[in-house]
A and B are shown apart, each in its own frame.
Chain A
Amino acid sequence: MEYNSSLESEKRSKWQGIAATILVLISVTVSIWVIILKIISVSAL
């Protein structure tokens, strides 16, 4: 029982870690996208 609960919590923390990493990567990607749009608008001038 104890073994199962620790395994489950390990599994949960792994998935939480992956979800957090994906969320951060989305923020980073959108930031770079905003910068690229600015670069394009400046280059077009």
Chain B
Amino acid sequence: MLFKFNLKRVLILLAGLSLLIAGLVGHLSESHGEDKSALYENYLEDSFTGIADYSLLKVDPTNLGYIYAVEDNDDMLAGYITITTGQGYGGLLTVVLNWSLDGEIQSISIPQNSDDKAWWDQLITGDFFDQYIGRKFDDALVLGADINAISGSTISCNGVALGVHAGRALVAEQLAKPYPIPEEKIKFGLSEALLIGGLCTVVLFRMLSVLSRFRWVRYVTLFFGLGVLGIWLARPLSLTNFAVWIMGSPPHLNTNLFLYILVIGVVLLALIFGKNFYCYWLCPYSAVQEIAYKLGQVGLRPSAKWHKRLRNVRYFILWFALFFTILLGSVSITVFEPWGTLFSMKGSFDQWVLLGISVASGFFIYNAWCFYVCPVGAFMDIVLIVRRKGRDLWNTIVHLKVKKEVNGKV
């Protein structure tokens, strides 16, 4: 028999193929922004009642921005409406702004976003949108200075701010008046410096044989991760951080340098050194699991056979979340891990239930979430497997080449 049936390989092949098909179906069902006017006109009707008529003035293809002229019942020009997009936490969000004739924001609505509802609701309850009402197109509108961001939902706030800036650019052009263009600087602050410091420390601890034999060094970095990535920043590495790249909508670099360092740093270090420097070393939720286990002291663990089986469940969860994310084109599906709820103290009922169960499991089983459920761990394991396979393939090619050269000489 030429091919031996290998269930593992068949499942990997099917998983890969299904993700490709999901991507293809998702791609075909999207409108891809070539002409969003039909969709946007629905937004106009849904968002603003009392509009007698409107006409499309301009489409800006660079940021999918549309500007409409609004007419009142007497067929007189009453104002403008801009529909633009900004990069939120879970992908693009749509910002609809109603402007007066002299360029003052009358109303703002977000008919579409992919951010997690629990975090998004903070923008509504925190009156974030109201801050834009009455502002003029030539106001600075700088987030953090003129407009207060909502703590814990800053990436969503930034997405809205980007959409507003794109809208005001269209209005300024329409009114043929300049506006202050905010300086686009890459923000490098204390959080980014601490993250780099944390990653470097883990690399040192694990690579220096003098230190790697001590158990306590892992607790140092784990509690650093808990304090900085968890309690202070509430930004642990999440499946969403990988999914936005897979979906082709990475975060805005200038305002999200932290996420770039976290995602690219962890993946790159794994590819270079062949080790996962995040899981069990820097992950704040791993620290929570360690604390829970120390408090519980129960020490349950599945049998060796079941341990091996259950470890593979992580890959199923990873596939399941990614498949529907790609198919439906919404990254918010990947925002389900319990740490988002724990460190932000925001979440829906089901997310709180998951947090409760995963922490409770941690009392009985050592690192229960990390070992058996975590999709981030599964993703990192795949990165390491790809690295190993790639290296093996490279070695085989080099070996064959050398063999060919030797044979040629002989």
A residues near B (Cβ < 8 Å) are 14, 16-17, 19-21, 23-28, 30-35, 37-39, 41-43, 45
B residues near A (Cβ < 8 Å) are 112, 114, 117, 299-303, 306, 310, 313, 317, 320-321, 324, 328, 330, 332-333, 335-336, 348, 350-351, 353-354, 357-358, 361, 364-365, 368-369, 372-373
A43 surroundings in chain B (CB, below 8 A): 328
B336 surroundings in chain A (CB, below 8 A): 31, 34-35, 38
Partner of B364, one of A23, A34, A35, A39: A23
A26 to B328, CA, bound (A): 27
Interchain pairs with CB closer than 8 A, number: 91
Given the interface contacts A31-B373, A34-B336, A34-B354, does A23 sit within 8 Å of B324 by beta carbon? no
A12 to B91, CA, bound (A): 50
CB distance B320 to A27 under 8 Å? no
Partner of A17, one of B302, B321, B353, B368: B302
A26 to B72, CA, bound (A): 58
A39 to B325, CA, bound (A): 8
CB distance B300 to A16 under 8 Å? yes
CB distance A32 to B302 under 8 Å? no
Given the interface contacts A16-B301, A28-B317, does A23 sit within 8 Å of B361 by beta carbon? yes
A31 surroundings in chain B (CB, below 8 A): 317, 336, 354, 373
A21 surroundings in chain B (CB, below 8 A): 302-303, 306, 310
CB distance B302 to A24 under 8 Å? yes
Extra contacts, 18 of them, besides A28-B372, A30-B357, A42-B328 (Cβ < 8 A), are A17-B300, A17-B301, A24-B302, A24-B313, A24-B361, A27-B354, A27-B368, A28-B313, A31-B336, A32-B320, A33-B350, A35-B320, A37-B348, A42-B324, A42-B332, A42-B333, A45-B112, A45-B330
Chain A interface helix/strand/loop/mixed: helix
B333 surroundings in chain A (CB, below 8 A): 35, 38-39, 42
Partner of B357, one of A27, A39, A42: A27
A25 to B300, CA, bound (A): 14
A23 to B313, CA, bound (A): 14
A33 CB to nearest chain B CB (Å):
7
Given the interface contacts A27-B368, A27-B372, does A35 sit within 8 Å of B324 by beta carbon? yes
A27 CB to nearest chain B CB (Å):
5
Given the interface contacts A38-B332, A38-B335, A43-B328, does A20 sit within 8 Å of B112 by beta carbon? no
B320 surroundings in chain A (CB, below 8 A): 32, 35
CB distance A24 to B117 under 8 Å? no
CB distance A19 to B300 under 8 Å? yes
CB distance B330 to A42 under 8 Å? yes
A38 to B324, CA, bound (A): 10
A27 surroundings in chain B (CB, below 8 A): 354, 357-358, 361, 368-369, 372-373
CB distance B372 to A39 under 8 Å? no
Which residue on chain A has the smallest CB distance to residue B310? A24
Going nearest first, the 8 A-B pairs with the smallest beta carbon separation are A20-B300, A17-B303, A42-B330, A21-B302, A34-B336, A20-B302, A38-B333, A24-B372
Q: What are 15 contact pairs spanning A and B, CB under 8 A?
A: A20-B301, A21-B310, A24-B313, A24-B361, A26-B361, A31-B336, A33-B350, A34-B351, A34-B353, A35-B324, A35-B333, A38-B333, A39-B333, A41-B117, A42-B330
A39 to B321, CA, bound (A): 9
Q: Pick the most buried of A16, A19, A31: most chain B CB atoms within 10 A of its CB.
A: A31
